[in-house]
Amino acid sequence: MKAYHLLTGLLVAALGAVARSSEALEHALAEALRVMEQHPLIDGHIDLPFIVRSLGPRPLEVIARHNETMPGHVDLERMRQGRLAGLFMVAWIPCPDPWASDDYLDPNNAVRDTLEAIDIIQQMVVSAPNDLTLARNSEEVKQAFESGKISTLIGVEGGHQLGNSLSSLRLYAQLGVRYVTLTHTCHNAFASSAGSGTPIEPAHPSNGLTDFGRELVVEMNRLGVLVDLSHTSYQTMTDAIAISHAPVLFSHSGAAAIYDHPRNVPDSVLALIGDGADQNPGLVMSVFHSPFIDSKNATVERVADHIEHIAVVCGKRHVGISSDFDGTNNAVQGLEDATKYPSLIAELILRGWTEDELADLMGGNLIRILDDADRASGSLAWMPASAATYGRRKDLPAHWGGADDEYLPADVKQYLNQRRQLHDEL
């Protein structure tokens, strides 16, 4: 008898849950769409430019051919369907595989390829003037939303793409780049990486930022380029947070406390982000990539668990949304492509997130740190551009060539000879 009651009770509860969930879900989904009409959702990390580079030897023709629909997770049609209001398109170029030497000086095409990727982003915008618009700051993001266009911001995903040069950084900034990830899956001259998932040998004395990396962080602050710490080692994260004059960004990472993966942010680092006087007012944009979410149970609910954990530790003003679409072959169940953003917002509505909190999560927090980074840049306007160069370069000072510097103007040659003599005497 007792067992019978228990069974009936469980059955009633289960049926109730099913009935409640489908009705509640429908309601939450409708509410999500309403909220997304009112407030922009800006995705922090989409690898669409690399898909374009992958589809043929003449990538710009790929854009024209696939303007509305594109293989992968994202295209204009699906962005519209998913109510996406803006995105960081990422100019990502793979790490040299592997670096032949540990001085990071092997010649490679990363700077050319990054410029090509930025060009692809610009040309995608040109080819879809009614849908996309480039955005460099919060004002342009807001204007785009008001005019019904999708803001396209630019990120560069790896210090290796700077060719060991702060000049590259400055010129990327001029082209509209708003974040640079300090490392991708490889260490570089600036910083140590977390690797790709399996443990990698540490690099640099502390496995964190190098002196040149510290120069990079301050130069990024001066330029208003956000310091992105996804992909970096824990030590790089803490080193950069300690010296950054502006909010830092995690452009696509989850919470290690929810799923332990070196690409996720541990609580010890999350504790450094927040509104406290001794915290960095940065932003952790929570990712969808299944291997970071939960290798056995990557679902919308689990993604929401990561978001909520970051919100609990850092505060709801310090969490955002970042799919890593087109950069993952492992989509989360229920978040398979760019049409699915409303499902995540609906899940959070079911968990009690208010409209204001959702507005911050979807885009408000990102808009705030763009403004903060611009303010920090303004306050550093007194600083000249950093003259730092990578100390291990062998091509500086440059040599003119020819026998005995024969093409150099006489006074330059004289100056160099004096310098060399002085050097010998020392």
Catalytic residue status for 347: no
Cβ-count burial of 97 within 10 angstroms (0-12 exposed, 13-18 middle, 19+ buried)? Answer: exposed
Residue pair 283/318 in contact by the 8 Å Cβ criterion: yes
Annotated active-site residue 215? The verdict is no
98: cis peptide before it, omega within 30°? Answer: yes
Using CA atoms, how far apart are residues 340 and 352, in angstroms rounded to an integer?
20
Give the pair of three-digit tokens for residue 235: 């030590």
- CA distance linking residue 274 with residue 307, whole number of Å: 14
| Contact of 45 with 155, CB cutoff 8 Å | yes
Q: How far is CA 17 from the centre of its chain?
A: 38
Catalytic residue among 73, 160, 184, 245: 184
The catalytically annotated residue of 39, 43, 45, 228 is 45
Q: Which two tokens stand for residue 47?
A: 């690898």
Instruction: Give yes or no: 47 in active site.
Output: yes
Considering 75, 215, 324, 337, which one is annotated as catalytic? Answer: 324
Secondary structure (3-state) at 354: coil
Set 43, 47, 140, 294: catalytic member: 47
Residue whose token pair is 């062998």: 394
Which residue out of 39, 160, 204, 252 is catalytically annotated? 252
CA angle centred on 363, ends 361 and 364, rounded to 5°: 80
Set 75, 131, 140, 157: catalytic member: 157
Contact 88, 179 (CB under 8 A): yes
Known catalytic residue at 399: no
User: From the candidates 160, 204, 231, 309, which is the catalytic residue?
Assistant: 231
CA distances from 306 to 9, 88, 300 (A): 32, 21, 10
Tokens of 33: 């769409």
For the question of residue 326 being annotated catalytic, the response is no
Reduced to 3 states, what is the DSSP secondary structure of residue 217? Answer: helix
Q: Kindly give, in sequence order, each residue whose CB lies less than 8 Å from that of residue 299, ignoring residues fewer than 6 positions away.
A: 293, 332, 333, 334
What are the structure tokens assigned to 126, written together? 């040109």
Question: Do residues 29 and 334 lie in contact, with contact meaning Cβ atoms separated by under 8 Å?
Answer: no
Using the Cα atoms of residue 240, residue 241, residue 243 and residue 247 in order, give the sign of their dihedral. positive
5 counts as catalytic: no
What span, in angstroms and rounded, lies between the C-alpha atoms of 250 and 78?
25
In three-state secondary structure terms, 156 is strand
The CA distance from 26 to 320, in Å, is 24
337 is catalytic: no
Catalytic residues: 45, 47, 157, 184, 231, 252, 324
